[in-house]
Chains A and B, each alone.
Chain A
C-alpha cells in the first residue's frame, strides 16, 4: 500500500469516527465499537512480537491488566487526567516488555511462550494481593464529568481508542515494511543466521517486546473508565489473551494488515453473536475460529488472498 493512500485512509477513518459521534446517540454502538477497537489494538500489538518476530506471547492479558491497573493506581493516588494515564501505562507496559525481551536471551520457542503465561499469572497474583487497587475484590472507577465536546463519556472513549488504534496500526506498518522489519523477519526465520548477517538480534527483540508491551499497556489504560468496575477477573481475562492471538492468526501474521483484518472480522462477529445468541457462544466462537484457521489456513486470510491472486491465470 502506498504511503499517501495509507495515511489518507487513516485520516478518513478517523474523520468518519468523529462524524459518527455527531450523528449516532445510542451508547450501545460505542460500547461495541470500543471493544472491537480494543481487540484490534491488542492484536496489532501481539503481532509485533508474535507475527513479525516469531515469539509467542500467551501473557497478553498481563500487559493489558498492567495498563488498566496503572490507571486505577495513579487515578487513586494522583488523580491524573486520561491522556497522562495512557502515557504512563504505555511506559509501564514498555518497561515490562523490555524485561520480557531479556528473557529471549535464555528462552526460545515453547519455553518463552510458557514464561509469558507465567509472567501474567505472577502479575495477577501481585494485583490480587495488592489491596490499594482493590485486591481480589476489585475497585470502582468514577467516570469523570468532563467529556470535551462529546455527548457522553463513552463517545469520547471511543474516539480516544480509535486514535490509539490508528496510531498502533501506523507504527506496526512502519515496523513491518522497513529495514527494521526485514531484521525482525530474519530473526523469526533464523536467529543465528540473522546475527551472522549483521542483525543485532537482542536490540531488535527488545524493540519488539517493548513496543508490544507499550501498546498493550496503552490498550488497557482506558479500560477501567470503560467498565467502571475493575477486578483481576476482568482485567486478566483469558479471553483477552486468546483474542490477541486469534485475531492475528486468523488475519495472517506476516503482514501488518493481517491482525487488522482478523480483528475487524472476529471482533464484529463477536459483537453480533453477543447480541443475537449469547456471550458464552461469543467466547466459544473465538476458540473454534482460532483452531479452524490455524489448522486449515495457517497463513490466515492474507495468505489465502495471496494464494488466490497467484493462482489466477495471467
Chain B
C-alpha cells in the first residue's frame, strides 16, 4: 500500500490541488478576511464561473482560462451590485450578523437551484488540448489539467498581493479592515472602497471557476464542498493575509491528497472542516495571524 512514488505523487498532487484552492479562497480572503463580510455564497459564484467557461467553451471553443479573464469584469459588476444590496439592507442598519449570514445563504441557494433548473444535475466539462496531457519527471506525474490551474492561480495570487500592497486602492482596502482613521486621512469613502473590494473578490470567482472546470467535470452543487475549503483556508491563513492564505491552501491540498490517497476519496470532504474546526478551537488567529 505505502510506497515512495505513491507518497511523492500524493504530495505533488496535493501541492497542485492546493494551489488551485488558493484561487477559490482568495476572493473570500478579501471579502471575509479583510471586509468581515461572510459571503458563504462565494463558492456558488465560482460554480457560475465554471458554467460560464463551459458555455463559451462548448459553443465557441474559447479557452476556459480566457473565458475566466473575460468574465471577471462582469463578475466584478455583479459583486458591486450585490454589495450595494447587502450594504443597504444589513450593514447600514447594523443587522449584518444574523440576517446578513442568512442573506448570503439564500443567495447561494438561489444560484445553485437556478443552475440546476437551467442545466440539470449532469456533470459538465470543457475541451482544451492541454487537458489530458501529462508531464512526467521520474516517477512523478504533473498532469496539465492540474498544472495549468496551479500556475494561473499562483499568478492570480501574486497579482492580487501586489495590487493590495502596491496600489492606492489596494492599501485603502487594507485600511478599511485595519485602520479607519488612516482611511479618513486618505480621504476615501469606506463604503465605496468596500464595494470595490467586494467586486474584486467576486471577480476572482470567475477565474477560479474556469480553473475548477479544467480540473474536472462540474455540476451545480459541487460548490458546497468548497464552502468548507475556502473558509478553512482563509481562517488558517490568518484572515486576510494573502501569502498566509496561499500557504494554508497548499497545506489543505496536501492533507486532502494524502487522505484521499491513503484513506479513500470519500473521506476527503471532511478534511477541510476538520482543519477548520481544529484551527478555530486551537488557534483562532490562524497560522499567520496576529494573536
Contacts and interface: CB of A to CB of B under 8 A. Distances in A.
Interface in B108-153: 109-110, 112-114, 116-117
Interface of A: 50, 54, 56, 58, 106-107, 109-111, 113-115, 117-119, 121-122, 124-126, 128-129, 136, 238, 242, 245-246, 249, 253, 280-281, 283-284, 286-288, 290-291, 294-296, 298
Contact of A294 (B38, B40, B103, B231): B103
23 contacts: A56-B102, A110-B97, A110-B101, A114-B227, A115-B276, A117-B227, A121-B228, A122-B270, A125-B269, A129-B266, A238-B221, A238-B224, A245-B105, A246-B106, A249-B99, A280-B113, A284-B117, A287-B106, A287-B113, A288-B110, A290-B106, A291-B107, A298-B99
Contacts of B221: 238
Interface residues of B, number: 40
Interface of B: 38, 40, 85, 89, 93, 95, 97-99, 101-103, 105-107, 109-110, 112-114, 116-117, 221, 224, 227-228, 231, 235, 264, 266-267, 269-270, 273-274, 276-277, 280-281, 284
A117 B98 CA distance: 15
Task: Tell which of B112, B113, B221 has the most Cβ of chain A within 10 Å.
Answer: B113
Contacts, number: 110
A286 B113 CA distance: 10
Given A109-B97, A122-B270, A298-B99, A291 B280 contact: no
A284 B114 contact: yes
Contacts of B97: 109-110
A302 to B, nearest CB: 15
B94 to A, nearest CB: 11
A111 B266 contact: no
B284 A118 contact: no
A296 to B, nearest CB: 8
Contact of B284 (A111, A121, A126, A290): A111
Contact of B98 (A56, A121, A283, A288): A56
Contacts of B101: 56, 110, 113
A238 B269 contact: no
A291 B110 contact: yes
Contact of B277 (A115, A286, A295): A115
A294 B274 contact: no
Contacts of A109: 97
A109 B103 CA distance: 15
Contact of A118 (B93, B98, B116, B228): B228
B273 A238 contact: no
Task: Tell which of A115, A246, A287 has the most Cβ of chain B within 10 Å.
Answer: A287
Contacts of A111: 235, 280, 284
A294 B102 contact: yes
Contacts of A129: 264, 266-267
A283 B113 contact: yes
Given A111-B284, A294-B99, A121 B269 contact: yes
